[in-house]
Amino acid sequence: MDIFRFIPGYRNVIFEEGKEPLFLTLVAFLIAFNCNRGYTRAARARGWGSGSIGGVHLHHVVVGIVFVLAAGLAAFTPGGTGPVTRGVLAIVFGVGAAFILDEFALVFYLRDVYWTTEGRNSIDATILGVMIAGLALVVSEPFGLADPFVAHTGRFVLTLIIVQNVVFAVITLLKGKLYAGFAAIALPGIGWIGALRLAKPRSPWAHRLYGSDKTARAQRRLEEGFASRFQQRLVDLVGGKPSV
């Protein structure tokens, strides 16, 4: 579609690399999530009612599931391979994914926890979804033999760099630091910091390797540390503060 051809570099970086459907998915996701969360926060503040069918509250996760399934099914049909059709399906999929992740906590807990503390899991899922889509968009194809960087650096050295980056990212994820772990895939320095710092008390790393004293330190860090406070403020900014 080359829909954003007016943006400098879009044609070379996105369109010609075949990344436009993923880019449209990400843009549609961000727009739909912001519109949806903005409306729900306004409805919460003003006391507006919610949509219902036959007296049953219609959660927008239901609409999202329909959108995602419809876009996925259409993508497997013969008519779903055209460039314009793929772009449209990518937009529909992105909107549906935004509706689903915005109420991810409701699906996880099987009850309406949208404005509760448990509902913060929806914001976590949304931020992680954006990070994963962003990584898929910016990460290049594996280096080839003819790549100038490989020719000068050497495949062995390059492999060591990639392996250590993956190891630090995995350790960070095992320590329960999901944001930092996914960010470390593209930014190695974040993985080094995440791997060296204390794990979260309920993470697999702490469960296997920490004693009671170190677990208590990790709990205090979780409750009082700068990173935890920053993450909490970020979630409150995106999704609104939870209700009692």
Q: Please check the confidence at residue 99 and state whether its pLDDT lies above 50.
A: yes
State the amino acid at position 172 in one-letter form.
T
Annotated domain spans of the chain: 1-139
Q: Please check the confidence at residue 226 and state whether its pLDDT lies above 50.
A: yes
Q: Using one digit for the tens of pLDDT, what is the confidence trace for 40-98?
A: 998 888 888 777 787 788 899 999 999 999 999 999 998 888 888 999 999 999 999 99
122-to-7, 62, 220 alpha-carbon distances in Å: 32, 15, 25
Residue 143: predicted pLDDT: 47
Q: Please check the confidence at residue 140 and state whether its pLDDT lies above 70.
A: no
d(CA 81, CA 89) in angstroms, rounded, equals: 10
d(CA 142, CA 48) in angstroms, rounded, equals: 51
Give, rounded to a whole angstrom, the gap between the first and last alpha carbons of the chain. Answer: 47
The mean of the pLDDT values for the chain is 86
Query: Are 125 and 104 in contact, with CB atoms under 8 Å apart?
Result: yes
